[in-house]
Amino acid sequence: MQLPAWQTALAEAFNDPQSLLSYLQLKPENLAERQLAQHQFSLKVPRHYAELMAKGDPHDPLLRQILPGGEELVDRAGFIDDPVGDLQAKQQPGLLHKYQGRVLILTTGACGVHCRYCFRRHYPYQNGTATPAQWQSILDTIRNQSSIQEVILSGGDPLMIHDPRLAKMVAELRALPQLKRLRLHSRLPVVLPQRITPELLELLSSNRLQSIMVVHTNHPNELSPALAEACEKMRSAGITLLNQSVLLKGVNDDAETLVRLSEGLFEIGVLPYYLHLLDRVTGAGHFEVESNRIESLKAQLLQQLPGYLVPRMVREIAGEASKTPV
Ligand SMILES: *Cc1c(COP(=O)(O)O)cnc(C)c1O
Ligand code: SF4
């Protein structure tokens, strides 16, 4: 059987710093520390995403998001392995129920790209992900709680699951009468736009549930023509498109970049939803933005953008009943 194009592209993703640096015409520097950082969380970058980076620029904002480096090995006070309390909130394997009316399913541990700032970089996915066997008990749990109206497929990245299995999962969710909405959080439309297959569009739209796709972009350079095309297809299929970003030092911590991101997203039919402050996860301290700078950015965004293009700035605090506005 022939693999879908997106799976072939994933198999060809960069997986070591040296070949990525050489592709970008950068000096292969600090490879020993990069290897050490790789042991904690490996490098993974589809070629499409690498093509959006500037050749010869070691400070490229997309490169900074994915290149392992020695700064990750520095211990920082307050940075821990499970900053958002996922392990504590875990009711049953693969299911997180922290907020009223919506549950989050950890469908897979796999991602199409490895983001160095990711709060799940230390998450023990082996026991935290829904296996097909656990899936049935997740469905039972949802069925027995009539207050749950929305299911969020997350991970990892739910679009790493191939379409036939995803179609089966969605069909089973659709059969739960109290569910109204199905939300997916994914970075694949950004790093691998060919993932938006006709089969995926079909399974998300031929369906009584309202579908929402929360894409995850952090910088306007990520808004490629291929992403615009994928978004156009999703919109035509009736899927509501939102974006979430993480505020990252050296990537998007200036008003000009964030304004361009919001405007660029709107041009391709995506509304800014959340701008998350960094989760204080071990190894990501070099991405943290100082609090006075955060305040000033917030004021500038309010001033420079129409209200509907200002993302809600939030932080996730373990044990809280929602994301916490900043
Ligand atoms: C972030 C999150 C949600 C979604 O929260 P919204 O404010 O609805 O976007 C739901 N469940 C969990 C466990 C979450 O971490
Ligand atoms: S795609 Fe999302 S879950 Fe996966 S590494 Fe990046 S931020 Fe983390």
Given this model, what pLDDT does residue 86 score?
Answer: 74
C-alpha dist (Å) from residue 255 to 54, 200, 202, 262, 293: 21, 35, 38, 11, 10
Backbone φ and ψ of 199, nearest 5°: -65, -40
> Across the strands, what pairs with 306?
none
185 ligand 1 Cβ < 6 A: no
Among 106, 151, 152, say which to mutate for ligand 1: greatest number of ligand atoms within 8 Å of CB: 152
User: Tens of pLDDT along the chain (326 residues)?
Assistant: 677 899 999 999 999 999 999 999 999 999 999 999 999 999 999 999 999 999 999 999 999 999 999 999 998 999 998 888 776 666 688 899 999 999 999 999 999 999 999 987 876 555 556 777 889 999 999 999 999 999 999 989 999 999 999 999 999 999 999 999 999 999 999 999 999 999 999 999 988 999 999 999 999 999 999 999 999 999 999 999 999 999 999 999 999 999 999 999 999 999 999 999 999 999 999 999 999 999 999 999 999 999 999 999 999 998 899 999 99
CA of 57 to the centre of ligand 1 (A): 36
Q: Is 111 in the pocket of ligand 2 (CB under 6 A)?
A: yes
Which residue in 324, 267, 326, 269 sits closest to 295, CA to CA?
Answer: 326
Distance of CA 167 to the CA centre of its chain: 21
Give the pLDDT confidence score for residue 301 in this predicted structure: 98
Q: Is the shortest distance between the CB of 276 and ligand 2 below 6 Å?
A: no
3-state DSSP percent of the chain in helix, strand and coil, to 5? 40, 15, 40
Whose C-alpha lies nearest to ligand 2, atom 8?
118
* Ligand 2 and 82: CB distance under 6 A: no
User: Using a 6 Å cutoff on CB, does residue 183 contact ligand 1?
Assistant: no
Per the document, the length of the chain is 326
Q: Which ligand sits nearest to residue 150's alpha carbon?
A: 1
In order, the DSSP letters of 86-132 are HHHHEEETTEEEEETTEEEEE--S--SS--TT-TTTT--HHHHS--H
Q: Is the CB of 114 under 6 A from ligand 2?
A: yes
- Please give the pLDDT value at position 123: 66
The whole-number pLDDT of residue 124 equals: 58
Angle at which helix 225-236 crosses helix 198-205, to 10 degrees, equals 40
Cβ contact 31:17 at 8 Å:
yes
> Which residues have C-beta within 8 Å of that of residue 279, sequence separation ≥ 6?
83, 84, 117, 119, 316
